[in-house]
Amino acid sequence: MKKKLKPLTRSWIMMSALVNADFKLRDQGTFLGFLWTLLHPLIYFIVLYNLFVKWMGPQINNFALYLIIGFVHWNFFSAATTASITCVFRHENYVKSINFPKSILVISSALSSLYIHLLELVVLMVFWLLVKGSVTPKAVLIIPIVILTLYLVISLSFILTTIGVYLLDIARIWGILMNVGLFLTPIFYSMDMLSPGRQKIILLNPMTHIIKASRDILIDGQYPAMPGLIYVFALSSVLLITGIVIFRRSEGLFVERL
């Protein structure tokens, strides 16, 4: 039994060390970095709120809360998937010198982004309390939503990490796609404002369902719609299987690409 536990224990220790290292590499290891983590979603919120409040405010209930919920979730997805592209290069010393499951790099990168996301969620919950003035029991449902988002991030990250090792320009390409995705996700507008045809396109975006579920919980105090979340889970599962297959076939050649 001990022999079976030792590799697992080493993997957990290494993953913990990589999460800590990733966190520090992203300038979060200092007080100013920590403070920036808390201010980052608020700064974007202020900019977007002032740009769209006159247009969207009258049409969307609790527009300020609506906006910050959307941005905090999108920021996690965008930052986490973008970070995964370079996770092998960030830890190339480990890749070259230590024999370990390279999947740890992908998972630790996602967990590091999750840690930052949890700090952003603290900002969101404080803002939510200021706006709503009370806590509802349904608020705990935000936890499985965060877990589902992490599942989506890890699933997609296996694919992006593999591509990132062989195609260095994928970071720029993905950055452009994330900028486009910001407008293809109902962050500062309502789905009701779109035509039925465009709604179908937006509903293909898994982050649409995650953000909508969070708003159902925190703004409307309702249970989230399950069909959309089931779609996200199914899509993430397909991406995970695909990503792991691609990753395992390629990880043996990572050292040659570094």
Which pLDDT does position 17 carry in this prediction?
75
Supply 38's token pair: 């808390």
Stronger pLDDT, 122 or 108, i.e. the higher one: 108
Residue-wise pLDDT for 226-235, tens only, equals: 999 999 999 9
Range of the domain at 25: 2-257
pLDDT category at 100 given cuts 50, 70, 90 is confident
Interatomic CA distance for residues 147 and 235, integer angstroms: 15
Number of domains in the chain: 1
Q: Give residue-wise pLDDT tens across range 205-217.
A: 999 999 999 999 9
The Cα 34–Cα 38 span in angstroms is: 7
The whole-number pLDDT of residue 91 equals 80
Nearest in space to 146 (alpha carbons), one of 86, 193, 207 = 207
Q: Is 216 helix (H, G, I), strand (E, B) or coil?
A: helix
What percentage of residues in the chain have a pLDDT greater than 70?
Answer: 89
pLDDT value at residue 2: 45
